[in-house]
Structure 1
Amino acid sequence: MPAFSAAVPAFFGALEKVRTVMASGLISSAPSRAGRGVATSIVASVLFAVIFLIAGLLPGWGAQEIFGWRVVLTLATLGAMMPFLPGARTELKSLARRVRRRPALLLPGVFAAGIVGVQLWLFMWAPLNNMALSVSFGYFLLPLTMVLAGRIFFADRLSRLRKFAVAAAAVGVAHEAFSAGGLAWPTLVVCLGYPIYFVLRRKFGFDNLPAFAAELLLLLPVGLFFILTGPHGVGSDAGTTGLFAAISIGVLGGVAMALYLLASKWLPLSLFGLLSYVEPVLLVGVSVYLGETLGWSSIFTYGPILLSLLFLAVDGRRRTPRLR
């Protein structure tokens, strides 16, 4: 698979970024909470873009099978990482105590697992089915819907620049919806599903890595089923390149979700949502690399959204404490 060789340097480059962030303060308490949140969010976005690229370079592998590998290996990666993450053991014990005392908490947990399962599958399915741009646009919409969710459910306050960022993004979204005659279903699944997921996690106190690992544990039987029944299951000749790609997706998925969920915990929901604009910019680049095209009118969609990124960058520079 010659095209996959282009993703190999990106894979190791992403791992080096993770190592640098970890060494510079993810585990250390020296950097400020906000500073760590910004850094981890950006690195997570880079890793998700690498996963998107690798998935798109795996013809012959179905989305279900890749999803299965991602669930299994992401769970294994988180299991290896959590003992070294600050507070993970305490959060795990606290989660187990709460569920033991209130078994009804399993219901929102199962619902959250279902939402994240659909999102993980869609992220694998889209680049293999020429829907990468639709999913990318969903991630462009996501910060806007996250800001609204933060405002409605948690009374997050918006600075003037953040209001400008939301307004600029809304212009781009309105143009896309008008020119395309509506929004594609993968776009809506992303931009509406994730806010429900994060609000649910915060409302029930599940906004930590052990809770996400528990969600993956619920998805594990489905993941194993897809692996065993897929064309590259047990006893088949998957090829070294294909297996390396599947393993890479799983491992990077674990690291990326760990960083992403840590950032969601460290940052206000509105700032976390706006900062998420970094990821869709990268995903659009991957989509174009994989062969999808953008028309000239896209400038009226992505231009205002990029302007909102500029507002966010200026606001973040003013409000994020300097790292010491």
Structure 2
Amino acid sequence: MYKGVALSVLASITFGILYFYTEFLKPLNSEETFAWRMLATIPFLTLLMWSMGDLKLIADILKRALKQPTFILWLILSSILCTTQLWLFLWGPINGRGLQVSLGYFLLPLVMVLIGCVLYKEKLSKWQIAAIVLAVLGVGHEIWRIGSIAWETAYVALAYPLYFFLRRVFKTDNLGGFWWDLALIIPVSIYLAFIYSDTVSLIAVFPHLILAVIGLGFLSALGLGSYILASRYLPFVIFGLLSYLEPVLLAFASILLGERVSATEWFTYIPIWCAVLLLVIEGTLHLMKQKNKQDELKINANNLEKRIGRDE
């Protein structure tokens, strides 16, 4: 559980950095940035899997596809669900739609919690229920304020839970499955990078893009790899609730990129931030209880040793 929590937090922090990182990739547009992100992430992801001894997962999925040709259809669908989200993640801030995308990430955890409770029969603690109530208030206010849900918001909130749910169903919820998600989109990435637009000549004019793309690949592999692993180690409810750290960071990144939060929008973000705070408090209390239990066990063990020594 703790490993999953740590991976989820690491992923959220990395995604927050990536949202702001798009500034270093100018003058690449969203399609070009997406293409180079895919091309640069694969090598770093492969290195990460090699260091963890997980390269065999790639071969295992290939063997399944060769034995079950229909399984290839799922791999293609999985790749589409995953990579379109990655494209939207970059497209949003570049095109001034960062807050709409971040609202999708606000709504996403609620959908994940709903799936966890309905399909997996997972239980909620009192702290988690309170966090959900606050989150519902914040998201509900934003939907009421706008009067509708932007397509970016709806796609993030619905497609990602479907993606994670189906990954568990088809048993590809590991780094090997994610590797194939990226590998299958490589032809599209090559087209966008070298045929749709001549980014090589653009990089020649702006040489800083070489280091920027390398950094993009490293951060993407770190963040996405951690996120995928966290989804495997954590229950759906916990995984969903921890995802609230990400939209908080995305909202801050959007503000730093020049987007502004109006007075009425604060009624959306404040309840969400309070929900995240409740989860932090619950996690801290849980860690303190665990530490106290460990200390009690040590004290009891020491007392037992002393008694045995006296009896002897």
Fold similarity call, TM over 0.5: yes
**1:148 Cα deviation from its structure 2 partner:** 0.9
Match of 1:314 in 2: 281
CA separation of 1:176 and 1:315: change in aligned 2, threshold 3 A: same
CA contact (8 A) 1:153 1:199 kept: no
Match of 1:187 in 2: 153
**1:90 Cα deviation from its structure 2 partner:** 4.5
The structure number with the bigger radius of gyration is 2
- Aligned partner of 1:111: which letter? L
Match of 1:91 in 2: 57
Q: Deviations over 1:122-168 (max 9, x none)?
A: 11111111111111111111111111122222222212221221111
Match of 2:42 in 1: 75
CA separation of 1:230 and 1:99: change in aligned 2, threshold 3 A: closer
- Aligned partner of 1:219: which letter? I
Whole-angstrom distance in 2 between the partners of 1:197 and 1:115:
6
Whole-angstrom distance in 1 between the partners of 2:285 and 2:161:
26
**1:316 Cα deviation from its structure 2 partner:** 2.5
Whole-angstrom distance in 2 between the partners of 1:319 and 1:150:
21
- Aligned partner of 1:161: which letter? W
Question: What is the count of residue pairs matched by the alignment?
Answer: 289
- Aligned partner of 2:27: which letter? G
CA contact (8 A) 1:56 1:127 kept: no
Q: CA RMSD in A?
A: 1.8
CA separation of 1:238 and 1:197: change in aligned 2, threshold 3 A: farther
Matched, 1:288 2:288: no
The equivalences for 1:152-231 within 5 A come to 152-229=118-195, 231=197
**1:231 Cα deviation from its structure 2 partner:** 4.5
Q: Which runs of 5+ in 2 are unaligned?
A: 295-312
Give the TM-score normalised by the residue count of structure 2. 0.87
Match of 1:261 among 193, 207, 228: 228
- Aligned partner of 1:302: which letter? Y
Identical aligned pairs, as a percentage?
A: 36
CA separation of 1:57 and 1:91: change in aligned 2, threshold 3 A: closer
Match of 2:8 among 24, 32, 41: 41
Match of 2:98 in 1: 132
**1:178 Cα deviation from its structure 2 partner:** 0.5
